[in-house]
Amino acid sequence: MDFINSLNWRYAVNKFSSQQLSQAQLQPLIDSVHLSASSYGMQPYELLVISKDHIKQQLVPFSYGQDKIAQCSHLLVLANRVTTSKHDIDSYISALAENQQIDVEKLAGYKQTISGDLLSLSPFEQQKWSANQCYIALGKLLSCAAINHIDACPMTGFAQKAVSDALGLTERGLNAEILCPVGIRSRDDHSALRAKYRKPINQLVSLL
């Protein structure tokens, strides 16, 4: 099944089956987030992979009762860093230099560019920047899931602070930006039978 067919196959699942994903099925999803592009390559977020039923159930009241969070095989949470500090940038540059086996001083210009851009932002702007990186990773995640015939339903309709507090993210300087239940669709999920609607290409795309 090619990529476009895979995108036609996927939809936002409303009801999951009880089937559990194996580690072999789950790992590509994790890898897709790990390998995602991000601004400056900093990846200012973490991915939580929740399989424990009692944790998933605990979050249902904070997602307006959407029980797909509890039904799914695994609940993936993309949590962005609330702020970006000089220490965060220093740590990133040091890790990058080690990875590329070069002297850290050779990245001084790059570090200055990152610092000038990110440290000049307000706390609100920093959080918006890091949250946007989560959506880039989400795109990779959803595409990878579709290619592998794994169902997913990205969600932003939930109480972010309550979820962040419940998962111990707030105290770590993180914010639960996106919830994405993954698993296998239920045979009686009627949403799967609805025709996929997208704008006509000529209303979406302009050729200049």
At residue 1, the pLDDT reads 59
Residues 39-57 have pLDDT tens digits of 999 999 999 999 999 999 9
| Alpha carbon distance 119, 140 (integer Å) | 28
What is the structure's pLDDT at 170? 98
Q: Are the C-beta atoms of 167 and 141 separated by less than 8 Å?
A: no
Task: State the pTM of this model.
Answer: 0.95
Contact 68/178 with Cβ under 8 angstroms?
Answer: no
Q: How far apart are CA 199 and CA 131, in angstroms?
A: 26
Contact 133, 39 (CB under 8 A): yes
pLDDT at 53: 97
Residue 146: predicted pLDDT:
97
In the chain, which stretches have pLDDT less than 50?
Answer: none
Question: Are the beta carbons of 118 and 89 closer than 8 angstroms?
Answer: yes
